[in-house]
Amino acid sequence: MSADATATPTPAPPKRRPAPDPELDHHSSSQRTVQVLLAFVRFSFFFLTEEAVLRLPLLRTVWGKSWKRRNPNRLRRFVVEMGGAFIKFGQFFSMRSDILPPVYCRALSDLYDNVPPFSPALARRLIERELERPIEELFTSFDDDPIGAASFGQAHIVTLALGENAGKRAAIKVSRPGSEQQIATDTRLLMLLGYVIDASSLLGQIKLAPIFRDFARWIRREVAYMQEAKNADHLHEVTAWNVRQRIPYIYWEYTTNRVLTMEYLEGIPVSEVIERFSAGDETLDAELAAMDCDRHVIARNLFQSFLLQAFVGRVFHADPHPGNLIVLPENTVGMVDFGLLGRLNEEGRREQMLLLDAVVQENIEALFVAVLDVMDAPRGLAVTDVYDDFAEDADEWLDACDNPGAAMSEKTITRFVDSIMRIARHVGLVLPMQTMLYYKTLLTIDGVLLRLSPDFDYKRESRRAARLIRMRELDKMYGPGAIIDRALSLQILANSAPEFLIQRLQDFEQGKKTIYRKMNLVPVIIAYAMRLTAAASGAAFLGLLVLRLGWLRSFSLLSHPLVIRVVEWLTPSLYALPAIVLVSLWLAKHAESRTFQKVQRDD
């Protein structure tokens, strides 16, 4: 054997941080600060002037109804002029209709990044620096014309050259030079502006600073490409069974915090489908049919995929605007851009499921109660004066969904969500971030659905989706996978039980008398036993009472002499049974209260 074969391999050098590149990392925070503050002062002057003028009694009487408010568009122009994180700020606040009036939310609702792409030479240099290899080694082809550009990055089509994925086409997202520093500067400035607005009490009791902190956390996660890759991977993992959607595969060896490489989904962007349908393109439906696709089925699959993601997977793609959706063969909806991922915890899922069921059943009262449950409204809150308005809006919306001739503006789910937000503003409640993210996603999808399929029936499709959700839940609870998981859990419990008991005995023998009742199952067992005793005693009491009163004498079996003798023998205990029920329930409650208490015993 040669010396080379026996030699210890040299360990690979540790990955070092790329050296700073002035052209890739440069960002002037001082210039940005001056630019934002000057623009904010100018915006505030005109904004406050209009608000003050409209509050003058005489002018409000004369011009109040006919005056066209300029402040919503003024806010939009300010956000667009500032660009960067302020565009994301506008998109974020367009879903906060529990804080801003609807007219402001509508002004911000269609904000999209519309910035020119940066030089492909810079993109190549950044990729080489992040992946530490020349472009020629990484890709066999690199398209210099980006397929999309936004405030913080742009995407190119490449053909991979390394490993088992060699020859595959992929989309590579590259972070815009200086974007990380700009985000840090912009979020600090927004926090400063939030404190200024809070100090001036412009929004009354609502405080912006905590909301801006949520926004800063949201945007930092959205532009971190490694986090986006994890989001896509997680969403694919929890919804892999859903054939209605396609989540692209992530190429991890080509991914860092500033470069993200994923499978390229080749199809027709939904934005193009909507544009061609609105323009009356007669070749669109034929082109979709050649892909085994239909606009109405695509709309249904998009709606069902969102609800299945949220209610079954507990996570959902939270930015499904038309540019992030792709029509693939056989009515499959491809999704890209996973910077924003919404989540529903068990409580949120239950609340939204009750609301969905109320819509399916067309039960206005249940719908109102579900809305209050979603808002976590405290008991005794005065909301009766808004119930009539809510019931009228909800009833009109449900009727419009049944009417094929109703206008799109009457069918849109925005009407229903606006009613919910009106209640929130009326009672002064600020909804949790994840709840607002769910509604923001629902409104975004609503805009896509009605432009793809103007006849979309929300009630019928909600009923179908609710049925699919329950089928998936039953499959998770009682399917083969669930049974195997329970069997493995029981096996682990059975294997660990002897060791656990031995350890507890050794603790007692060694004088370790500190016991955590949470680990000791005795109080739990006692509580269950007392509940069973209470249930058995209650059933026995009811049975004896029925037999004693002779309500079931018509049954021949109950008239048997042996049964009559047993009843007579147990009759003296009839009056003791209710006391046994009460005492057993009290003991069960007492045992549960001891479950999590720490008890000290001395030798």
Higher pLDDT pick, 467 / 373: 467
In angstroms, the CA 187 to CA 207 distance is: 16
The pair phi, psi for residue 496, each rounded to 5°, is -90, -15
pTM above 0.75, yes or no: no
Lowest mean pLDDT among 98-102, 180-184, 467-471: 98-102
Q: Does residue 61 sit in helix, strand or coil?
A: helix
DSSP 145: S
- Compute the average pLDDT of residues 432-461: 84
In angstroms, the CA 51 to CA 481 distance is: 61
Q: Which two tokens stand for residue 139?
A: 């890709």
Q: Are 98 and 424 in contact (CB under 8 A)?
A: yes
Lowest mean pLDDT among 265-269, 334-338, 598-602: 598-602
DSSP labels for 333-351?
A: EEE---S-EEE--HHHHHH
Given a cut of 50, whether residue 6 has pLDDT beyond it is no
Cβ neighbours for 357, distance < 8 A, ≥ 6 positions apart? 366, 370, 466
Q: Are 339 and 221 in contact (CB under 8 A)?
A: yes
pLDDT in tens, 34-90: 888 888 888 888 877 877 766 666 655 555 555 567 778 888 888 888 877 788 778
Q: Are 171 and 147 in contact (CB under 8 A)?
A: yes
In angstroms, the CA 510 to CA 83 distance is: 68
Q: Where are the domains of the chain?
A: 22-113+182-218, 119-176+225-239+248-264, 269-477, 479-507, 513-600
pLDDT-based confidence at residue 558 (cuts at 50, 70, 90): low
User: For residue 135, what is the enclosing H or E element?
Assistant: helix 135-138
In angstroms, the CA 459 to CA 475 distance is: 24
Q: Are 191 and 213 in contact (CB under 8 A)?
A: yes
Higher pLDDT pick, 390 / 551: 390
> CB 484: neighbour CB atoms within 10 A?
10
Q: Which two tokens stand for residue 254?
A: 């080509």
Lowest mean pLDDT among 451-460, 479-488, 515-524, 554-563: 515-524
In angstroms, the CA 262 to CA 252 distance is: 8
Higher pLDDT pick, 602 / 334: 334
Higher pLDDT pick, 345 / 552: 345
pLDDT in tens, 80-93: 888 777 887 787 77
In angstroms, the CA 185 to CA 208 distance is: 18
Lowest mean pLDDT among 104-113, 140-149, 157-166, 452-461: 104-113
Lowest mean pLDDT among 134-138, 230-234, 393-397: 393-397
Classify residue 166 by burial, with Cβ atoms within 10 Å: 0-12, 13-18, 19+.
Answer: exposed
Name the residue with tokens 């998936």. 472
The pair phi, psi for residue 251, each rounded to 5°, is -95, 95
Higher pLDDT pick, 315 / 191: 315
Distances (CA, A) of 459 to 184, 380, 395, 401, 466: 44, 32, 12, 7, 10
Tell me the CATH number of domain 119-176+225-239+248-264, given options 1.10.357, 3.30.200, 1.10.10, 3.30.70. Answer: 3.30.200
Q: Are 558 and 547 in contact (CB under 8 A)?
A: yes
Per-residue pLDDT, 493? 67
